[in-house]
Amino acid sequence: MAFLGGNILPPVGFNIPTIFTGITGGLLFFAGLAQLSNNRNHRNDEPGLFRALLLFCYGCFFKPHSGGGKDNQQRALESFYASQASVYDVTRKLLLRGREDMLALAAAQLLHKEAEKGGRRAKNKRIWVDIGGGTGWNIEAMGQFVNVPEFFSTVYLVDLSPSLCAVAEKRFSRLGWTNVKIICQDARKFRLEDYENGLSGPGTPGYSTPASYFDQKRPGHGGADLITMSYSLSMIIRQPDYHSVIDSVTSLLSPDGLLGVVDFYVQSKIDFTYRNWTGGFVGRHVNYLSRTFWRAWFDIDRVALEPARRDYLEYRFGTVLGANLRNTALGSIPYYIWLGCHKKPFSSSSLPEEIIQRIDALATESPYLLPSDSNNTKKQQTAITAKLTRAIERTAPEIRSKAFDAAFQNLSANLPLPSFFYQNHHWRIYYDDQLQKHTQFKDEYIYAFTWEDSRVDREILKLGRDDVVLAITSAGDNILSYAMQSPARIHAIDLNPNQNHLLELKVASFTALSQPDFWKIFGEGKHEQFRELLISKLSPHLSSRAFQYWLDNSSIFTNVNGRGLYDTGGSRWAIRAFRLISYLFSCRNAVSEVLASKTLIEQREVWKNKIRPAIFGLLSNLVVSTESFLWRALGVPKNQLAMIEADHHQSEAVAKGLAKDTRAHAVWHYMVNTLDPVVDKTHIATDNPYYLVCMTGEFSRRCHPDYLSPIAHKRLSQRGAFDGLRIHTDEIDEVIARFMPGTLTVAVVMDSMDWFDPETSAAGRQIAKLNRALKMGGRVLLRSSALKPWYIKEFESKGFVGVRVGNRRVGECIDRVNMYASCWVCTKTDNLPPPTPETEGEGEIRGTGGEVDVWSL
C-alpha cells in the first residue's frame, strides 16, 4: 500500500540481500498456493494462481524500475505497482499480518465509545480515513466487525498509486458501498475540509485564503473518527516525509478520534527502556542479528524499518493499546499493532493543574485535593509548568503519588502521558514495569486461583457500602468477592504485575462478556475463541500491558492439547506433583472416586485407604528426607517456615515423642494437619472448589468460587460495578504510605506478615503505616502459619487489639482451604503520633506509592 510516490522502488541489479528476497518470494509462492487452493469463492476476474505468482515474482525481483532522483513520484510508484496491482491482495495475504487484528481492535474501541454514549451517535457523521489504503482490502475487511456502509457516513481511501486505486474502485463498485471515496492523492496534501461540509478550511464558506504559504496553519484537530495506516509508515523511504505524514494526521483526527497502525519494525531495548509513555515493552526488543537481517532484507524493496518512525508516532500521540508480535509464517518478521489518540490534555477542557489534583485525590483517598472551581475548565491552557508547580506546592509531599510525578514530568517536557492515562477505565494504576522488583517475576503469575476462603472472609468482614478496602490481589478471586458486597472502594495490591493482569482480565470479562463465555474462560479454564474475544470484546477494557500479556498468552485458553488456565502459574507445580503421584501410585481412579463420592463417609474411605498412603508415604520416605527439595517445591519463605517449625517444637506430638523435632517433620505434620481435616470435614466435589480445581483442573457448575455464579455475573456485569476498583502494582508499604490518614476501613493482608524477618523493624513500620491509613475502628484481616504469630505483639504495641477468629485444631478445619494455622482480626483502637525519620526510616514517607490515573472522570 502506498501514499507517497517513489518510496517502494527496488534497485536495479542483484546482490546478496536480493537472494534473501528471492527466498521470500519462494515462501510466498507456496503460501499463496495454499491460500488460493483453500479459497473456493475467489472471483472469476482475478488472475489465476500461476499468473498471480509470476506477476508478483517478476514485479518484485526481476522487473527494472524507473523513478530515481528527481523523477515524478507517482510515475515511480506506478513503475513498481502497475504490473502487480491485480494480484496485490493475494500475494500480500501472509506477508502483511495483523491487519485484521488492528481493524478489530479499532472497531472495538469505536463500539465501546458508542455504548458509553448510550448507543447514540454523538454527531451525524462518522468518518474513517484509510491512509495508504491501496486496493481497499482494509475497508472490505472491516466489514467483519461493523457494517461499513451504515457505521461510517464516509470512508476515504487515500493512496497515490492509480493502479491500486483502480482496483479499489472495482472492489467497491462490486460491493455497492457508495460511502467509500477513493482519493488518489499525496496523503500530506489531503484535507477533509475539501470534501466534507461543515469543516473549516479551503472550499468552505467563511474561509479566508492565507496571504502566503507561511500564513497557512493546519488546525490542531480534524473531523475523522478513525484513521488507519496499514503497512504504510515503513514504506516512506525519505526521513522528513514520515514526519510530515504523521503531523498531517494530527489535523485530520477529531478530538476524540482513534488512530490505528500496523507495520513492520525492528528495535533495540536501548532505544525505549527509559520511556514511560509506551504501551509496554513485552516483545518489543529485537536482537542484533534479527535487526540487522530484517533491515537488510526489507531495504531491498526500500521498506524502512528504523525505529524512529514508530518512536515519532508514539511521541506525537497518546498510546491507547500496543502489541509487539512476530509473523511466524514467514521467518518471524517483527510487526506491531498500535492504537493511539491525541495527546492529553488536548484542549482547554481540562487544566493540567486540575487533572493532577484529581489524580492525587483518587490515589490518596483525599477529598481535600479535588479541584473546587469547575469554572477553571473554561480558562485558556497556559503556563503549564507554572500551574503544575503550584499544584505540587499545595499538595502535601507525604501523599504525592507516582501518577502525579509521571504526569508532571511528561507534561512539562511536552511528552505524551503514560498509556495508563488513556485507558477507557481507571482500574489499573500507573507503574514502572522496568523496575527489577517487577521484572523478577519474568512475566509469570504465581497463583491462577486464590487460596483464601471467600466465604469465611465475607462472614468475618461483613463489608458495607461505606467501607474502603485494601487487599492483596493474588488471582483476584477475593477482590471480586469483595466487589459483590459493593463497598465504596477496593484497592487491590500486588507486586507481581501478572497477578494484576489476571485480575484485569476477570474485570474486563465481567464488563464485556456473556455468562457462558465468562464461565468457559474462568470456570473451565479454556475457550477456543479466547483470542477473538480478547481483541473484539475485551480490548477496550484492558490496559495496554494487560492486553499484550494476554495476547501473548492466549494459547493458555485456546490450546486443545493444553490443560487450561489452572495448569499455569508458579502454583501449577504443586498441582502437577499431585497428578504425578496419583499416576505413579495408580490412584487416578481413586481421585475419580473421591469426586464421585456422595457422602463424606465415602470420601473419607477412599482417601484413607487409597490416596493418603500414596501421598504421605512418598512425602515421608522421599521428600522429607530431602529438605532442600521440599522447601523449593512448597515455595514457603524461610521466615514462615521458621514459624511452622517453632509451633511444631512446642506441639504435644513432640513432647510425647510421637514426632521428631526437625524442620522436615514439622512441615510434614503441617501438611497432614492441612489435608486430613479437609477430606474429613468438607465435601470436595460439591463444596470445596479450592481442592476440586487441583484435582480436575477446572471448576464445576455446582462447586466453584463465588464470582463464577450466575448471580455474581449479573451483579458485576452491571454498568459501574467496578467504579470503585483501583489496581496497584507495588508493595503494600508503598501504597498505604500515600493514603490520607484515616481513610481505610479494612485491610486484608493474607499471610504476607509471615514473610517479615522478626529480627528487623520492617513489620513494625508496615503496621505503623496501616495504623495511619485506617480510620478508628478499622480492621486488618490476616492469616498465619503460626497459632500465635510473633507480630501480633507488634500490632498491639501500635494501636491495635488483636483477636484470633480462627484456630486450626488437630482434626478440625479453620476454613475450606485449611492452609493456615490461625486467622486474626486486628482492630485499630488508638492513633500513633506523627512519624519521624528515626521511627519511620528516612525518606520512606516520601517514597513512591499508590496512584490512580483516569481521563474519563
The answer to whether 148 and 139 are in contact (CB under 8 A) is yes
With H, G, I as helix, E, B as strand and everything else as coil, classify residue 643: helix
Q: Please give the C-alpha separations between residue 413 and each of 384, 389, 416, 659, 802, in angstroms, as whole numbers.
A: 10, 13, 9, 66, 50
Share of the chain above pLDDT 70, in %: 74
- Looking at the domain assignment, is residue 620 inside a domain? yes
The answer to whether 493 and 730 are in contact (CB under 8 A) is yes
Cell digits of residue 35: 491460500
**Is pLDDT at 198 greater than 50 in this prediction?**
yes
Cell digits of residue 399: 501523599
**Is pLDDT at 425 greater than 60 in this prediction?**
yes
Region of 69 on the Ramachandran plot (φ > 0 left; ψ -120 to 50 alpha; else beta): left
Phi, psi values for residue 638, rounded to 5°: -65, -35
Q: What is the DSSP string of 264-285?
A: E----HHHHTT-SSSS--TTT-
Same-domain check for residues 101 and 160: yes
Q: Please give the C-alpha separations between residue 501 and each of 565, 727, 792, in angstroms, as whole numbers.
A: 13, 10, 32
What residues pair up with 127 in beta bridges, in sequence order? 154
Number of domains composing the chain: 3
* Distance between CA atoms of residues 820 and 804, nearest Å: 12
* Distance between CA atoms of residues 664 and 215, nearest Å: 82
Question: Once rounded to an integer, what is the mean pLDDT over residues 743-759?
Answer: 94
pLDDT given for residue 43 in this prediction: 47
How would you classify the pairing of strands 468-472 and 489-493? Answer: parallel
The answer to whether 25 and 60 are in contact (CB under 8 A) is yes
Same-domain check for residues 116 and 257: yes
Which stretches does DSSP call E strand in 675-734? Answer: 725-728
Tens of pLDDT along 708-719? 999 999 999 999
Compute the CA torsion angle 376, 379, 383, 385 (nearest 10 deg). Answer: 30
Q: What is the DSSP string of 62-128?
A: IS-----TTS-HHHHHHHHHTTTGGGHHHHTTTTSTTHHHHHHHHHHHHHHHHHHTTT--SSS--EE
* Distance between CA atoms of residues 692 and 194, nearest Å: 65
**Is pLDDT at 479 greater than 90 in this prediction?**
yes
CA-nearest of 174, 207, 177 to 43 is 174
- Looking at the domain assignment, is residue 301 inside a domain? yes
**Is pLDDT at 382 greater than 70 in this prediction?**
no
> What angle is formed at CA 434 by the lines to CA 230 and CA 744, rounded to 5 degrees?
110
Same-domain check for residues 114 and 263: yes
Cell digits of residue 572: 501449577
Q: Please give the C-alpha separations between residue 396 and each of 137, 360, 390, 640, in angstroms, as whole numbers.
A: 55, 10, 12, 37
pLDDT given for residue 625 in this prediction: 46
Phi, psi values for residue 373, rounded to 5°: -100, 100
Tens of pLDDT along 636-667? 778 888 898 888 888 777 777 767 777 777 88
Tens of pLDDT along 11-65? 333 333 344 444 555 544 444 444 444 444 444 455 555 455 555 555 555 455 5
pLDDT given for residue 216 in this prediction: 47
Same-domain check for residues 691 and 582: yes
Sign of CA pseudo-dihedral 243, 74, 237, 254: positive
Count of other CB atoms within 10 angstroms of residue 46: 15
Q: Tell me which residue has cell 473456493.
A: 40
The answer to whether 844 and 733 are in contact (CB under 8 A) is yes
Last-in-domain residue among 642, 667, 696: 696
Same-domain check for residues 175 and 41: no
Same-domain check for residues 249 and 332: yes
Last-in-domain residue among 89, 119, 148: 89
**Is pLDDT at 478 greater than 90 in this prediction?**
yes
With H, G, I as helix, E, B as strand and everything else as coil, classify residue 793: helix
What residues pair up with 828 in beta bridges, in sequence order? 800
- Looking at the domain assignment, is residue 404 inside a domain? no
CA-nearest of 672, 674, 676, 680 to 603 is 680
With H, G, I as helix, E, B as strand and everything else as coil, classify residue 552: helix
- Looking at the domain assignment, is residue 456 inside a domain? no
pLDDT given for residue 827 in this prediction: 98
CATH number of the domain residue 260 falls in: 3.40.50.150
CA 757 and chain centroid, separation: 34
CA 293 and chain centroid, separation: 31
Question: Once rounded to an integer, what is the mean pLDDT over residues 450-471?
Answer: 95
Same-domain check for residues 263 and 296: yes
Same-domain check for residues 56 and 125: no
791 exposure class (CB count in 10 Å sphere: 0-12, 13-18, 19+): buried
Same-domain check for residues 23 and 144: no
pLDDT given for residue 612 in this prediction: 87
Last-in-domain residue among 54, 89, 124: 89
Count of other CB atoms within 10 angstroms of residue 262: 27
Range of the domain at 78: 16-89
With H, G, I as helix, E, B as strand and everything else as coil, classify residue 137: helix
Q: Give 203 or 469, the one with higher predicted confidence.
A: 469
Cell digits of residue 250: 494530527
- Looking at the domain assignment, is residue 413 inside a domain? no
Element (H, E) at 681: helix 663-681
With H, G, I as helix, E, B as strand and everything else as coil, classify residue 48: coil
| pLDDT band at residue 504 using 50, 70 and 90 as cut-offs | very high
Task: Report H helices in 238-331.
Answer: 239-250, 269-272, 288-299, 308-316
> What angle is formed at CA 90 by the lines to CA 88 and CA 95, rounded to 5 degrees?
85
- Looking at the domain assignment, is residue 658 inside a domain? yes
- Looking at the domain assignment, is residue 399 inside a domain? no
* Distance between CA atoms of residues 527 and 532, nearest Å: 10
* Distance between CA atoms of residues 270 and 280, nearest Å: 14
The answer to whether 32 and 49 are in contact (CB under 8 A) is yes
* Distance between CA atoms of residues 107 and 684, nearest Å: 44
Question: Once rounded to an integer, what is the mean pLDDT over residues 66-79?
Answer: 53
* Distance between CA atoms of residues 760 and 769, nearest Å: 16
With H, G, I as helix, E, B as strand and everything else as coil, classify residue 351: coil
- Give 395's contacts (C-beta < 8 A, 6+ positions apart): 357, 360, 369, 404
**Is pLDDT at 339 greater than 60 in this prediction?**
yes
| pLDDT band at residue 340 using 50, 70 and 90 as cut-offs | very high
pLDDT given for residue 193 in this prediction: 87
- Give 152's contacts (C-beta < 8 A, 6+ positions apart): 126, 127, 128, 146, 179, 226
Same-domain check for residues 155 and 75: no
Same-domain check for residues 125 and 74: no
* Distance between CA atoms of residues 97 and 101, nearest Å: 9
Reading across the β-sheet that carries 725-728, which strands appear in turn? Answer: 725-728, 489-493, 468-472, 744-750, 774-784, 822-828, 800-807
- Residues found in the chain: 857
Compute the CA torsion angle 701, 702, 708, 711 (nearest 10 deg). Answer: 110
pLDDT given for residue 46 in this prediction: 56
Question: Once rounded to an integer, what is the mean pLDDT over residues 483-505?
Answer: 96
Lowest-pLDDT choice from 200-204, 401-405, 598-602, 792-796: 200-204
Phi, psi values for residue 139, rounded to 5°: -65, -40
Q: Please give the C-alpha separations between residue 37 and each of 25, 30, 41, 50, 99, in angstroms, as whole numbers.
A: 18, 10, 10, 12, 22
Q: Give 330 or 490, the one with higher predicted confidence.
A: 490
What do you get for the CA distance between the two ends of the chain, in Å? 39
Question: Once rounded to an integer, what is the mean pLDDT over residues 59-85?
Answer: 54
- Looking at the domain assignment, is residue 428 inside a domain? no
Cell digits of residue 685: 466435589
pLDDT given for residue 833 in this prediction: 84
Q: Is the peptide bond before 689 cis (omega within 30 degrees of 0)?
A: no
Q: Across 145-149, 327-331, 672-676, which has the greatest mean pLDDT?
A: 145-149
Lowest-pLDDT choice from 141-155, 437-451, 577-591, 841-855: 841-855
Q: Give 461 or 56, the one with higher predicted confidence.
A: 461
pLDDT given for residue 654 in this prediction: 77
Share of the chain above pLDDT 90, in %: 49
* Distance between CA atoms of residues 196 and 216, nearest Å: 19
What residues pair up with 339 in beta bridges, in sequence order? 260, 321
Tens of pLDDT along 531-583? 999 999 999 999 999 999 999 999 999 999 999 999 999 888 878 877 887 78
| pLDDT band at residue 839 using 50, 70 and 90 as cut-offs | low
Same-domain check for residues 178 and 82: no
